[in-house]
Chains A and B, each alone.
Chain A
Amino acid sequence: MLQCIFLLSDSGEVMLEKQLTGHRVDRSICAWFWEQSVSQPDSFKVLPVIASPTHYLFQIVREGITFLACTQVEMQPLMGIEFLCRVADVLSDYLGGLNEDVIKDNFVIVYELLDEMIDNGFPLTTEPNILRDMIAPPNIVSKMLSVVTGNTSNVSDTLPGATSSCVPWRTTQLKHANNDVYVNLVEELDAIINSDGVLVKCEIFGVVEVNSHLSGIPDLTLSFANPSILNDVQFHPCIRFRPWESEKVLSFVPPDGLFKLMSYRVKKLRNTPIYVKPQMSSESGTCRLSVMVGIRNDPGKAVDSLVVQFQLPHCVSSANLTANHGTVNILADKTCSWSIGRIPKDKAPQMSGTLVLEDGVEQLQVKPTFCVGFKIMGVALSGLKINKLDVKNLPTPAHKGFRAQTEAGQYEVRS
């Protein structure tokens, strides 16, 4: 069981400590941790499970904030990590992002949340819907109210009914003036193209996002036109297993608001919508680089926000790169970023130029990897299609909406 949770700022300052059990953990452990992670930045900082001389530490880093949990006994490390992730999600949801200032500004809320989320080292209430009912998130209205009236209470004085219902993720007695539910397919395309230009890995990682504002306890059934491609999935706890196993439909009572109903993975795709072709040739201390980008398989909708990024190798002393479309930026950490935006109809975007290598280096032996980012609205590249959404147990008919979009996930082109 977790014994203590620390929140560290990006400079290593302990912003918060929450002791969870009687076995108090001294905060000197944070000093040890920080010293270690500063002295071995690349190997230590990213290690999620660390055996310190006195405790086992679990760490996750979110937007510069380190969440550190300690235990001294055997427990599933994933449970600790997953819990910390959940804490980070809830906090960033409550505070509208995570940084040192918002945590310090709202430390009371952070304490109240932590106290509700974990009891004696074991997670207690982690459902965002319920937490919102127990502890009100800070918003402009309540901030103003508190300034004007001096009444600062954000702690609810009644227990949310959901804690005792059979759908613990949903607030009971919800009333919405307009009943509406939106389903959004958000897909990410992961691809690896190796140095020979061969597509070695191409898969879709998709999420079915549902934004529901429905009154009462509605019962929803979502069915797909081609459920057979869904054979690798993760479900929100609200989904009933039986209907899925027998008929491949998603039957559920949704939580209120935006949530991830399901994630899925479609593997071994054959094609990518665009191509990115880097070419490098180096001789006598300079390296010529050219990158071509274009549409390979027209997805039917415009490819937007196209970005190609890569890290210049250490031995490059200067670079001179220009593009016939979009802008090229080279940042201080030697990251080169080419923002193309939307691909023009009339010409194929191309970036070219020379990299000057350091003295004594004749040829470039190491090859950078080009990371590609793009966004296509209105298309789910996996081909998944929603058939229909049935809403039962609702007094008035609900407005339903469907959307889809595809983004680049880990889309990498090796040169």
Chain B
Amino acid sequence: MFTQFGTTAENFSKASTMVFRIGTDAHLYDDPDDVSISPLLDSKFDSEKCEALKRLLALIAQGLDVSNYFPQVVKNVASQSLEVKKLVYLYLLHYAERRPNEALLSINIFQRDLGDQNPLVRAWALRTMAGIRLHVISPLVLVAVRKCSRDPSVYVRKCAANALPKLHDLRLEENATSIIEIIGILLNDNSPGVVGAAAAAFASVCPNNLPLIGRNYKRLCEILPDVEEWGQIILIGILLRYVIARHGLAKESIMASLLPNIFNNENTGSESDTDYLEIKKTYEIGIQEPELVAMVSRSYLAGHDKYLSHLNNSDTISSENTSSRFTSSKNDENVKILLQCTSPLLWSRNSAVVLAAAGVHWIMAPVEEISKIVKPLLFLLRSSDASKYVVLCNIQVFAKVMPSLFGQNIEDFFISSSDAYQVKALKLEILSSIATDASISVIFQEFQDYVRDPDRRFAANTVVAIGLCAKKNPQVAHTCVEGLLALTSPKSINSTSGSMDDEAVVLIQAITSIKDIIKQDPPSHENAIICLIRNLDAIKVPVARAMIVWIAGEYNSVGNIIPKMVPVILRFLARDFPSESIETKYQILNAAVKVLLNSKGEDFHTAKSVLSYVLDLAKFDLNYDIRDRARVLRKLLSCYFSSSGLEEKEDNDEIPLLLAEHIFGETIKASTEMFNNRFYLPGSLSQIVFHAAPGYEPLPEPCSLTESDMVKGLEGPTQTEDNDSDVDSGSLNEEEGSYYSEDSVTASTGTDNESAASESDNNNTDSLINFSDVGKPQEAANGLSEFMSKGALESWLDDNDNPGSSQNVAGIDNNERISSARISIGDISTRIKPKIYTLLDPTYGNGLKVVYKYSSEVSTMSPSLVSVDTIFENCSSDPMTKLFLTHEDYELLDQGSSSESQKDVPDFVPMEKIAILEPGQTIKRVIHVHFHHHLLPMKLILWFNDKKHPVKLRPDIGYFIKPFIMDLDVFSQKESQLPGMFEYTRRCSFTDHLAELASDDKDGDVPSTKDSFLIICESLASKMLSNANLHLVSVNMPVDANLNDASGLCLRFSGEILSNSIPCLVSVTLDGKSFEPLNATVKINCEETVFGLNLLNRIVNFLPEPRLTS
């Protein structure tokens, strides 16, 4: 401990600071390995052990791997000192997964500790035991959790609840029922603390098992205020989901916009309709844009993507949403109690609780009572900066949907100089959406201050907000324009301070806003246009200048003064044409044409001469695009430039003239604003990042939970208790549903097969290499061929100048600009050899050999089933009878196969019985299995000769998908839609091609017919297709590739997940020399994160495997 004080002169100062650090663990962090740790760990003194463990912890904190001490640390778990125990636990949890075998050594101690007198020891043992996540000990953990869930100590019960998600993470189906059962017990606990933790477990294990909530709904609502704040956050969400699934949406709430006919008065007469009218009245209090409300509520309910897909057939939606799916928040007891119990939570000090409670009120409360959430939400703006931003993001949505909600509180959104830039931007946006006729003047007063803010980026944002306000409230448009014009006036521009760039941003934004406002009603803003044009001389920023020229050209015939001004301006501009910037030049050309088309008489000739002057100048411009444009315009308007003008134009001039008038003559209508925002549930992460985060789920289908579901759910756990066997009775297994949402499977399989077949017909047996140009139209200019990488291409061609043989070089157009070459491999189906697995070995099965392989054909029974070809072979000398396969818990399954709740258990369509199998005979059967994405072996029982043999069927994730036929364009489009979170990459090696290349070399007498690239591609493609049911989209190679360098070779595959038709894109990029082992980078783009990662792991596993020798 005093080693620090062995001071030498030079580090005396260091030592003096150490004085203040005595007694802390400073030296341990600074030099964790200055003493040998091993002997300390073996010491018999607790203090030395402690020191060693602290040193290890310091190394972990610094990111070093100290897992090699694992065995020594593990044995210290038996220490009586709680501090040593705690430190050992910290270490264990960090490394246990990496050292499973040694971790097992600690299990006995945990078992002992679980029986300890001290609840703290019991809780720690349980936490650590569950936390080390080993499959082997999961039964022990389950027993421990079960025991602890009945522990007298609240703390231990809470830890038991927290252990359940850890257990669930191991994805062992045999535990699933028990886990849910324990959650049920804990949700029923007397202590609010335990209920909170149980709610968290529920949310992460089985969020869709709502019947479990139904049992305790009222009690959970009542206990909610007493639950710890973190539990409240989760529990609020669960209760909301339950109420909607069980009782439906409230017809007085904003979600009522989904009610049919709420916005049209067509129906009169029946009782319910008068009801609607009344609702409609209250409803219109605060809502200005019913379309937006409907869209928001729909996306809460269906998720954004689904909503978009339904956009086109919205009729069906509204008819679906019959009023039966709505309840009343005023009359329904269950809704009322939820609203009552969440009301006090709006006063919580925890911002997350407030927002969650506000979310419930937003969705369920009657429209006129939503205002309750305003004050609590605004209060959160005084909490930390980080939560302020998140709260504002949510308020922004509320304010857009219901501007009146925050109309009284504009000063809360006034900007304070200490706000972060993002917060300022959000506040501005909110202000511009809640501005009303009454408040607009105050808001403008504020905006005037903001425009002078030193942060010019923020000032530019303010200008945008002013524009938005003007668009929303046309009566203030003139005031806005005046204010904005002041910003563009020469005075303000000339005296600009600081960097010009900052000021230019404001100027450009101001002109953009003016332009947008003018667009709404050009004639009334004549003065503004004139003013802008007058300022043209002073404005030097190219973009701003170009915009003003555009405005001048576009509105050249508005009012009385402008038509006189514009030709003058044009002449002025034409004089300085060569010195203008490129974008201004474009606009000058456009404006000149527009003026010409609009002018008559005297002006016409002026305009014509100006245009032809400009066109002449443009012809010799440095910029080729300007030259081209001038040429096009001249051709288009040739009639105007023909010797005698308009009157004598020939017939065939008619078309260009019409064309020109269409291009330049049409006035632009004010376009209706599109809502391109995405909406997710309030308070969710997805709402902040604007995409559906993995695991995001919209609200459940209203009233989807029926009475019978409830009963089933209630029976579930008791039933398993009766059975009390470790088999999976499958009565309550909805937990998997959270990961793989069960969408209806719509894809038709037959057509897919056909098209696949026809495509392989087209690509006849020989390989083709064709170079495709990506998206560029064919250029006629011959000179262009110089630009392409000819050398590389020709070397490629020279190697393959054997058009008759296996490689056809076709479709190469020298005039194309080629960025990458595309190789099409013909039919490699002969080379696809699916892996064969053994189900039963003849040595164990009395001479019966059963093998199976996954078939690439889509099951005939149902598109979501995986078909497995199973081959039975009798290797013995006696005939065998009555062969068939059953599920392990066949009897149980048989009883309850109709029950819906067991839909997630892997099961399979019963197999046709084989009556007799003669010696030596082989019979093939196809079994159809529904794996539900479970990756653990499925336990089956093989019956023959009336005896049963347990066998295991190993699922292959590569066959949980089916080929998804698409072309490269579609592929790259889809790929670009799945970036970031949905993209996973791993690397592995690939060696298959080596054997083939070697064998090719050996056959020296036959001229090498195949190119090494092709061999690599073929071997990789066949490997992929043999192991996964994918469609080969394309094979691309870089054009400038060297002969022996396969780097950059890229194979793309596509498939879609059987159960929910979500596309799954696989790209394999190779790297390395052709005759050496290659590095493959496998990339998967898939919306189903978990599935995608699993598939990626599978691919990375099989790619390096040596080739099948059969």
Contact = CB atoms under 8 A, between A and B. Distances in A.
Contacts of A101: 21, 26
Nearest to A52: B980
B442 interface: yes
B189 to A, nearest CB: 12
A157 B454 CA distance: 57
Interface of A: 1, 14-17, 19, 21-22, 24, 27, 42-43, 46-49, 51, 53-54, 56, 58-60, 71-79, 81-85, 101, 104-109, 111-112, 115, 119-120, 122-124, 126, 134, 138, 142-147, 150-159, 163-164, 168, 190, 192, 194-196, 198, 200-201, 205, 231-237, 241, 245, 260, 263, 265, 311, 313-315, 357-358, 361-369, 371, 410, 412, 414
Contacts of A74: 684-686, 692-697
Contacts of A46: 385, 389, 420-422
B693 A85 contact: no
B453 interface: yes
A85 B384 contact: yes
A43 to B, nearest CB: 6
B382 A72 contact: no
B490 interface: no
Contact of A59 (B382, B386, B445): B386
B347 A235 contact: yes
A77 B389 CA distance: 11
Interface of B: 1, 21-26, 28-30, 47, 50-51, 54, 57-58, 60-63, 81-83, 86-87, 89-90, 93-94, 97, 118-120, 123, 127, 130-131, 133, 153-155, 158-159, 162-163, 165-166, 169, 191, 193, 197, 200, 204, 225, 228-230, 233, 344, 347-352, 354-356, 375-376, 378-379, 382, 384-387, 389-391, 411-412, 414, 416-418, 420-422, 442, 445-446, 448-449, 452-454, 456, 492, 494-499, 683-686, 688-689, 691-697, 980-981, 983, 1089
A143 B22 CA distance: 7
B694 A48 contact: no
B454 A313 contact: yes
Contact of B452 (A73, A190, A367): A367
A106 B25 contact: yes
A143 B204 CA distance: 42
Contact of A78 (B159, B197, B200, B683): B683
B25 A105 contact: yes
25 contacts: A14-B63, A17-B60, A49-B688, A53-B983, A58-B386, A72-B981, A74-B696, A81-B387, A82-B350, A85-B387, A104-B26, A105-B25, A105-B26, A138-B24, A143-B22, A143-B24, A153-B81, A153-B83, A158-B120, A192-B411, A195-B449, A201-B412, A241-B347, A363-B497, A368-B454
B155 A205 contact: no
Contacts of A123: 230
Nearest to A115: B90
Given A48-B385, A74-B693, A122 B230 contact: yes
Contact of B391 (A78, A120, A153): A78
B63 A265 contact: no
Nearest to A122: B200
Nearest to A201: B411
Contacts of B166: 21-22, 120
Q: Top 4 closest A-B pairs, CB basis?
A: A143-B23, A48-B386, A315-B497, A73-B695
A234 B349 CA distance: 5
Contact of B685 (A16, A24, A56): A56
Nearest to A159: B120
Contacts of A56: 685, 689, 693
Contacts of B22: 143-144, 147
Contact of A157 (B120, B200, B411, B452): B120
A122 B684 contact: no
B82 A157 contact: yes
B496 to A, nearest CB: 7
Contact of B417 (A81, A106, A195, A371): A371
Nearest to B502: A314
A412 B344 CA distance: 33
B54 A314 contact: no
A53 B954 CA distance: 33
B29 A51 contact: no
A412 B416 CA distance: 7
B1004 to A, nearest CB: 50
Contacts of A106: 24-25
A235 B131 CA distance: 35
Given A151-B47, A365-B497, A72 B386 contact: no
Contacts of A21: 166, 169
B47 A108 contact: no
A78 B498 CA distance: 39
B497 A15 contact: no
Contacts of A124: 158-159, 162
Nearest to A42: B421
A366 B453 contact: yes
A138 B26 contact: no
A155 B229 CA distance: 25
B83 A154 contact: yes
Contacts of B25: 105-109
Given A49-B390, A119-B162, A365-B492, A234 B97 contact: no
A412 to B, nearest CB: 6
- In this complex, the member of B200, B442, B497 whose beta carbon has the largest number of chain A beta carbons within 10 angstroms is B497
A358 B344 CA distance: 57
Given A159-B119, A367-B452, A43 B421 contact: yes
Contact of B23 (A51, A138, A241): A138
A159 B685 contact: no
Contacts of B233: 76, 79
B694 A73 contact: yes
Contacts of B120: 134, 156-159
- In this complex, the member of B200, B348, B454, B685 whose beta carbon has the largest number of chain A beta carbons within 10 angstroms is B685
Contacts of B385: 46, 48, 60
B387 A78 contact: yes
A245 B347 CA distance: 11
Given A1-B165, A78-B351, A82-B351, A15 B61 contact: yes
Contacts of A105: 21, 24-26, 29
B457 to A, nearest CB: 9
Contacts of A159: 118-120, 123, 153, 155
A115 to B, nearest CB: 6
Contact of A142 (B23, B90, B93): B23
A232 B693 contact: no
A194 B445 contact: yes
A288 B162 CA distance: 65
A42 B127 CA distance: 41
A331 B164 CA distance: 56
Contacts of B421: 42-43, 46
B981 A241 contact: no
A87 to B, nearest CB: 12
A185 B485 CA distance: 49
Contact of A81 (B29, B154, B386, B448): B386
A8 B327 CA distance: 50
Given A82-B351, A104-B29, A368-B454, A410 B162 contact: no
Nearest to A19: B94
A258 B57 CA distance: 33
Contacts of A109: 25
A124 B376 CA distance: 26
- In this complex, the member of A53, A105, A357, A362 whose beta carbon has the largest number of chain B beta carbons within 10 angstroms is A105
Contacts of A361: 495-498
Contact of B57 (A107, A119, A142, A150): A107
A369 to B, nearest CB: 4
A414 to B, nearest CB: 5
B349 A76 contact: no
A171 to B, nearest CB: 14
Contacts of B58: 107
B446 A263 contact: no
A332 to B, nearest CB: 17
